């Protein structure tokens, strides 16, 4: 389980990092996250993934909502759009439709995704918009200083649930699997190398890829999703899991006590862009008259 | 307004299923094909199924008209139950056409002939019989009466034949043939009837402006968008905007553009802003309830300086309100809606031609000022037909884009403070100018920070000021008498048609008056407005809302008093109401003692 077995020396590591080239995807702004926040892994993971895929900075757009997670675009040296709370997916859909040549990465927190923005997820998923949606799930509202979120556990005490949270948490993976997402995976901020691999795969997927990234909010959650608790709970996805088997993926998603890390489901089908190209072809062939005369 | 030459209003009334709207459609297209100006407005029943009342009203004139007339010249009933309440709208010596051989008995007073005033001229004919004889079916009654009207008024049958053939071009040929038979049968009967009346269709004006096209306001907007090279459209159905979406659903893919029906209006505007950010000419269309949902994202468009075009066709409100009735009560929402100081451009065309031109220019303006542009119309304008003369060469085609110049060794300042307050905009894909757009207040680089809030706020407001002088766009215009007048009528949107008609009538009565339309509601063309106020003893503002939203906007901006004429009658404003108010104000101006008692400022 321990990803680092060899001792690491700072100078050597720095040299390696500089040589590897992924720093050109980091912006000059220093992340404003709290020291120790899980989100640093995501920033690193995405820049390494972009470097691996050899994508040109100018052809990537990172779109986000509002929240600590959504500060992400400022720390990446690509085009970015920091939008409104809950609206990352429709804006990202517009960006992709506006210019199909762009690689579009949508980013947001669990509140952004599953509370205020929940109504948009099924539609981006079922339309199979060719983009990657990274949800940083810390089970709490970080930016507004620690209220309960739709993925907070039962019994969780926060400033908005002083008498314990009584709302059943929802299951993001199960949601996305039933929303017809064509790529569903899970990663953990405490496993940065695996996280980077998953981000890379998610971007490579043609269609809508959804990656839930479990992440501790070290400032406002001292009891639930801590590195210690998450580290003990997570496990590798079983080796014999078949990612084309949606029912098996759903069964796996329901084992919430021990979140599995890896690819749950993948399917190859037409993207929204392809559907639109098809409409353009049919429009030429059919030459329909508009309603009326 | 009494015009030289032809000026006739037809109305045909029946129940859904009688082909009322279809007959009206053929009439207006045939008249347009003859070269006349046409204004038409159909009234549908609110329910989709059943036998609700339909009326199609069509004004045909050889000179440009600005609204429907209060009084109809030729009225046709296909259903007496529905038509009886409307017989009163026929003028003296006007024709009332109905079936005088009904097959079912009617109760006393149930027959339309009992409701025709002595001054009106009844024309009874066996509509059903003629239809059955011609086509073996009573279903062509609507076409029979069309032929009858054409025969009665000596209109040439050829344009009608042509339109009928076009209308049924996708059906088996027998359908068009049967309809032409029905038309000709009606025409023969009509031709032989003695015409008591002074109603006449003269010859059409010389077609000097190219070919006329019949369009609704919504159709005109879709056409303007297409000519301007719209690339993506996102929408959610809502009356009365839906037909813009349905038109673009068919046409946009043909033109290589992208069309998406979104899950709600928030998504529609979000995707529009997203596409605009990526450099695509993107638009959405909605009505008041949808615009209310869009306001937060509109604010992001303002803050992040993203071009986008949003059509709002108003209907009665608040809330779900009167979905099938016209009103002008979303002005506040369009001009001010959202959080913070969020200046945007709001353009409100006053007729169908204006819809076409404003839609054609909306993208260019949105791009020039890097801001969302709202096209504010209403149900009356969305659905009414007018003849439009589209420009032969495409004046709305996008001009080539100039990417910002990058200075070596300098970071790209997306929100650079410049003299014009407009900062050259990079698009994703442009090399070396990566930046992040945000709804947070930001510095010139686009990085969050509140230090520059005052300067950035000024930038967002000041950059829009020159929009009121944008070349090629009429942002306001004065009609009628020039110089000093007693009464000025200030109007916006669809109501301006009724205002003009009232103004011309008042002038004929010798009242000193003129009218001004304001097309750009945000920013307001303040200088021109001030000059108008300076010239008018009193300014009247008729509009279709309760609060006098435009009156508030103008008198707030100029600090000048206005007289309000606010109506929420769920129909276009009556010309007579405006005229009565103009007369009252004119006499107040000329007899000040009287004013002290009655005038309100
Ligand atoms: C319309 C609107 N409502 C509320 C807010 C306040 N708000 C900002 S972020 C946030 C929740 C953030 O939680 P999450 O999405 O989980 O992101 P995190 O900060 O945990 O990364 C809220 C409620 C807002 N910005 N806009
Ligand atoms: S508040 Fe929590 S989520 Fe936000 S930056 Fe700090 S640790 Fe991270
Ligand atoms: Mg969160």
The DSSP 8-state label assigned to residue B214 in this structure reads E
Q: What is the pLDDT of residue B599?
A: 45
Q: Are residues B11 and B159 in the same domain?
A: yes
Three-state DSSP state, B541: strand
**Residue B422 covered by a domain:** no
The two tokens of residue A227 are 């590195």
**Residue B428 covered by a domain:** no
Please answer yes or no on whether A94 and B273 come within 8 Å at the CB atom.
Answer: yes
Q: What is the pLDDT of residue B581?
A: 98
pLDDT tens per residue, range B207-227: 556 678 889 999 999 999 999
Ligand 1 center to residue B464 CA distance, Å? 31
Q: Are residues B155 and B269 in the same domain?
A: no
Nearest to A33 by CA among A42, A20, A22: A42
pLDDT tens per residue, range B27-37: 999 999 888 99
Q: Is the pLDDT assigned to residue B594 strictly greater than 60?
A: no
**Residue B512 covered by a domain:** yes
Asked whether the beta carbons of A172 and A212 are under 8 A apart, the reply is yes
CATH of the domain at B483: 3.40.50.920
pLDDT tens per residue, range B474-510: 999 999 999 999 999 999 999 999 999 999 999 999 9
Ligand 2 contact via A41 beta carbon (within 6 Å): no
B569 interface with A at CB cutoff 8 Å: no
Q: Kindly state the percentage of chain B with pLDDT values over 70.
A: 95
Q: Are residues B138 and B241 in the same domain?
A: no
Report the distance separating Cα B329 and Cα B291, nearest Å. 12
Report the distance separating Cα B495 and Cα B356, nearest Å. 17
The residue whose CA is least distant from atom 10 of ligand 1 is A67
**Residue B456 covered by a domain:** no
Asked whether the beta carbons of B299 and B323 are under 8 A apart, the reply is no
- Mean of the per-residue pLDDT values for chain B? 93
Ligand 1 contact via A147 beta carbon (within 6 Å): no
**Residue B250 covered by a domain:** yes
Residue among B29, B264, B428 whose CB faces A119 most closely: B264
Give the residue on B whose Cα is nearest the Cα of A291: B247
Q: What is the pLDDT of residue B409?
A: 84
Ligand 1 contact via A85 beta carbon (within 6 Å): yes
Q: Are residues B139 and B275 in the same domain?
A: no
CATH of the domain at A218: 3.40.50.970
- Measured CA to CA in angstroms, residue B85 lies from B93, B100, B110 at distances of 18, 18, 11
Ligand 2 center to residue B227 CA distance, Å? 49
**What does the CA dihedral B389, B394, B396, B398 come to, rounded to 10 degrees?**
170
CATH of the domain at B76: 3.40.920.10
Nearest to B267 by CA among A105, A123, A187: A123
Nearest to B376 by CA among B362, B387, B397, B388: B362
**Residue A292 covered by a domain:** no
Ligand 2 center to residue A161 CA distance, Å? 19
The two tokens of residue A137 are 């799930």
Q: What is the pLDDT of residue B545?
A: 98
| Domain extent at residue B254 | 214-388
Q: Are residues B181 and B224 in the same domain?
A: no
Q: What is the pLDDT of residue A212?
A: 98
Give the residue on A whose Cα is nearest the Cα of B250: A290
Residue that finishes a domain, picked among B158, B191, B224: B191
CATH of the domain at B366: 3.40.50.970
Report the distance separating Cα A272 and Cα B408, nearest Å. 39
Out of A226-235, B343-352, B400-409, pick the least confident. Answer: B400-409
The DSSP 8-state label assigned to residue B466 in this structure reads G
Beta strands in B444-599 (DSSP E): 476-480, 485-491, 513-518, 520-522, 536-543, 563-566
pLDDT tens per residue, range B47-67: 666 778 999 999 999 888 999
Ligand 1 contact via A67 beta carbon (within 6 Å): yes
**Residue A291 covered by a domain:** no
Report the distance separating Cα B8 and Cα A187, nearest Å. 73
Q: What is the pLDDT of residue B1?
A: 39
Q: What is the pLDDT of residue B533?
A: 98
pLDDT tens per residue, range B72-107: 999 999 999 999 999 999 999 899 999 998 878 888
**Residue A60 covered by a domain:** yes
Q: Are residues B15 and B150 in the same domain?
A: yes
Assign B601 a pLDDT band (cuts: 50, 70, 90): very low
Q: What is the pLDDT of residue B483?
A: 97
Which residues are in the CB-under-5-Å shell of ion ligand 3? A 109-110, 138
Residue among B270, B296, B427 whose CB faces A91 most closely: B270
Three-state DSSP state, A265: strand
CA atoms within 13 A on the CB side of B393: 1
Out of A72-76, B17-21, B201-205, B368-372, pick the least confident. Answer: B201-205
The sheet carrying B513-518 orders its strands as B476-480, B513-518, B485-491, B536-543, B563-566
Ligand 2 center to residue A191 CA distance, Å? 18
Please answer yes or no on whether A93 and B256 come within 8 Å at the CB atom.
Answer: no
Give the residue on B whose Cα is nearest the Cα of A93: B271
Sorted by sequence, the CB contacts under 8 Å of residue A225 that are 6+ apart come out as A138, A139, A140, A214, A215, A216, A217
**Residue A2 covered by a domain:** no
Asked whether the beta carbons of B38 and B59 are under 8 A apart, the reply is yes
Report the distance separating Cα B388 and Cα B6, nearest Å. 18
Ligand 1 center to residue A70 CA distance, Å? 9
Q: Are residues B232 and B155 in the same domain?
A: no
Report the distance separating Cα B149 and Cα B187, nearest Å. 7
**Residue B474 covered by a domain:** no
Q: What is the pLDDT of residue A135?
A: 98
Q: Is the pLDDT assigned to residue B600 strictly greater than 60?
A: no
**Residue A269 covered by a domain:** yes
Q: What is the DSSP string of B195-208?
A: --S-----PPPP--
Ligand 1 contact via A150 beta carbon (within 6 Å): no
Chain B residues with CB-CB distance to A280 below 8 A? 253-254, 256
**Residue B523 covered by a domain:** yes
Residue that finishes a domain, picked among B388, B415, B432: B388
B232 interface with A at CB cutoff 8 Å: yes
Residue whose token pair is 């996102």: B234
Three-state DSSP state, B411: coil
Ligand 1 contact via A33 beta carbon (within 6 Å): no
Chain center to CA of B93: 31
Assign B109 a pLDDT band (cuts: 50, 70, 90): confident
| Average pLDDT of the segment spanning B114-129 | 93
Asked whether the beta carbons of B227 and B396 are under 8 A apart, the reply is yes
Report the distance separating Cα A151 and Cα A168, nearest Å. 8
Q: Are residues B126 and B260 in the same domain?
A: no
Q: Are residues B183 and B308 in the same domain?
A: no
Helix (H) and strand (E) counts for chain A?
Answer: 10, 10
| Domain extent at residue A141 | 10-286
Q: What is the pLDDT of residue B170?
A: 86
Angle at CA of residue B263, ends B265 and B300, nearest 5° = 40
Ligand 2 pocket mutation pick from A109, A215, A217 by most atoms within 8 angstroms of CB:
A217
**Residue A245 covered by a domain:** yes
**Alpha-carbon torsion (B110, B113, B114, B116), positive or negative:** positive
From the alpha carbon of A38, which atom of ligand 2 is closest?
8
The two tokens of residue B46 are 């609110």
Ligand 1 contact via A141 beta carbon (within 6 Å): yes
Chain A residues with CB-CB distance to B247 below 8 A? 290-291
Q: What is the pLDDT of residue B2?
A: 44
Chain center to CA of B447: 42
Give chain B's domain count. Answer: 3
Residue that finishes a domain, picked among B388, B415, B446: B388
From the alpha carbon of A108, which atom of ligand 1 is closest?
15
Ligand 1 contact via A192 beta carbon (within 6 Å): no
Please answer yes or no on whether A99 and B279 come within 8 Å at the CB atom.
Answer: yes
Asked whether the beta carbons of B347 and B519 are under 8 A apart, the reply is yes
Give chain A's domain count. Answer: 1
**Residue B187 covered by a domain:** yes
Q: What is the pLDDT of residue B52?
A: 86
What is the helix, strand, coil percentage profile of chain B, to 5? 40, 20, 40
The residues of chain A scoring below 70 in pLDDT are 1-4, 291-293
Chain B residues with CB-CB distance to A130 below 8 A? none
């Amino acid at each position: 389980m321990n990803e680092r077995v060899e001792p690491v020396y700072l100078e050597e590591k720095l040299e390696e990092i500089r040589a590897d080239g992924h720093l050109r995807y980091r912006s000059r702004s220093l992340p404003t996250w709290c020291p120790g926040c899980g989100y640093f892994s995501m920033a690193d993971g995405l820049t390494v993934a972009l470097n691996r895929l050899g994508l040109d900075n100018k052809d990537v757009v990172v779109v986000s909502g509002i929240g600590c997670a959504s500060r992400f675009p400022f720390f990446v040296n690509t085009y970015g759009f920091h939008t409104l709370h809950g609206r990352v997916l429709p804006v990202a859909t517009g960006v992709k439709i506006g210019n199909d040549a762009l690689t579009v990465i949508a980013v947001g927190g669990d509140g952004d995704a599953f509370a205020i923005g929940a109504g948009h997820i099924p539609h981006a998923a079922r339309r199979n918009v060719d983009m990657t949606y990274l949800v940083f799930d810390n089970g709490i509202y970080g930016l507004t200083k620690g209220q309960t979120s739709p993925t907070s556990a039962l019994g969780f005490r926060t400033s908005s649930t002083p008498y314990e949270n009584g709302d059943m948490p929802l299951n993001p993976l199960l949601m996305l699997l039933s929303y017809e997402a064509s790529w569903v995976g899970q990663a953990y901020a405490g496993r940065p190398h695996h996280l980077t691999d998953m981000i890379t795969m998610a971007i490579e997927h043609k269609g809508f890829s959804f990656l839930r990234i479990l992440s501790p909010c070290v400032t406002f959650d001292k009891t639930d999703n801590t590195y210690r608790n998450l580290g003990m709970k997570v496990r590798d996805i079983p080796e014999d899991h078949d990612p084309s088997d949606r029912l098996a993926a759903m069964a796996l998603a329901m084992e919430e006590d021990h979140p599995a890390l890896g690819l749950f489901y993948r399917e190859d089908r037409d993207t929204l862009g392809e559907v639109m190209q098809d409409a353009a072809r049919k429009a030429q062939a059919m030459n329909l008259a508009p309603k009326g005369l | 307004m009494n015009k030289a030459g032809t000026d006739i209003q037809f109305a045909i009334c029946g129940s859904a299923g009688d082909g009322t709207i279809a007959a009206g459609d053929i009439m207006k297209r045939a008249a347009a094909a003859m070269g006349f100006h046409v204004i038409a407005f159909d009234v549908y029943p609110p329910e989709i199924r059943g036998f609700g009342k339909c009326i199609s009203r069509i004004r045909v004139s050889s000179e440009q008209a600005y609204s429907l007339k209060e009084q109809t010249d030729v009225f046709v009933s296909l259903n007496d139950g529905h038509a009886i309440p409307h017989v009163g709208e026929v003028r003296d010596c006007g024709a009332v056409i109905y079936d005088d051989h009904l097959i079912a008995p009617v109760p006393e007073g149930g027959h339309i002939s009992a409701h025709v005033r002595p001054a009106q001229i009844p024309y009874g004919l066996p509509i059903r019989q003629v239809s059955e004889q011609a086509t073996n079916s009573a279903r062509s009654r609507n076409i029979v009466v069309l032929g009858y009207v054409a025969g009665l008024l000596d209109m040439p049958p050829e344009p009608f034949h042509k339109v009928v053939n076009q209308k049924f071009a996708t059906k088996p040929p027998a359908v068009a043939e049967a309809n032409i038979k029905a038309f000709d049968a009606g025409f023969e009967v009509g031709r032989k009837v003695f015409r008591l009346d002074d109603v006449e269709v003269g010859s059409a004006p010389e077609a000097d402006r190219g070919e006329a096209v019949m369009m609704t306001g919504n159709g005109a907007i879709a056409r303007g968008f297409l000519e301007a090279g719209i690339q993506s459209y996102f929408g959610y159905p809502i009356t009365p905007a839906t037909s813009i979406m349905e038109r673009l659903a068919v046409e946009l893919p043909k033109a290589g553009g992208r069309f998406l029906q979104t899950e709600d209006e928030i998504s529609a505007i979000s995707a529009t802003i997203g596409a605009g950010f990526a450099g695509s000419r993107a638009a959405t269309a909605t009505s008041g309830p949808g615009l209310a949902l869009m306001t937060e994202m509109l604010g992001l468009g303002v803050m992040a300086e993203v071009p986008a075009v949003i059509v709002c066709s108003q209907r009665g409100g608040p809330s779900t309100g009167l979905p099938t009735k016209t009103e002008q009560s979303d002005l506040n929402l369009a001009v001010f809606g959202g959080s913070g100081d969020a200046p945007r451009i709001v353009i409100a065309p006053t007729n169908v031609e204006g819809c076409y031109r404003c839609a054609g220019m909306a993208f260019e303006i949105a791009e020039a000022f890097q801001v969302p542009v709202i096209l504010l119309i209403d149900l009356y304008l969305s659905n009414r037909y007018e003849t439009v003369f589209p420009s032969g060469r495409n004046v709305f085609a996008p001009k080539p884009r100039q990417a910002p110049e990058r200075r070596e060794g300098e970071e790209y300042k997306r929100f650079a403070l410049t003299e014009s307050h407009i900062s050259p905009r990079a698009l994703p894909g442009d090399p070396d100018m990566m930046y992040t757009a945000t709804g947070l207040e930001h510095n010139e680089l686009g990085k969050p920070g509140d230090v520059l809030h005052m300067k950035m706020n000024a930038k967002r407001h000041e950059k829009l000021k020159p929009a009121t002088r944008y070349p090629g766009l009429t942002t306001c215009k004065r009609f009628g008498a020039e110089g000093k007048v007693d009464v000025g009528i200030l109007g916006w949107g669809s109501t301006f048609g009724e205002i003009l008609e009232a103004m011309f009538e008042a002038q004929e009565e010798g009242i000193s008056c003129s009218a001004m339309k304001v097309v750009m509601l945000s920013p307001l063309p303040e200088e021109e407005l001030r000059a108008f106020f300076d010239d008018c003893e009193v300014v009247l503002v008729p509009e279709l809302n309760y609060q006098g939203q435009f009156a508030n906007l103008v008198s707030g901006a100029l600090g000048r008093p206005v007289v309000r004429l606010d109506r929420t009658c769920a129909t276009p404003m009556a010309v007579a109401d405006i005229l009565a108010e103009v007369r009252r104000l004119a006499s107040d101006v000329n007899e000040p003692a009287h004013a002290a008692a009655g005038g309100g400022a």
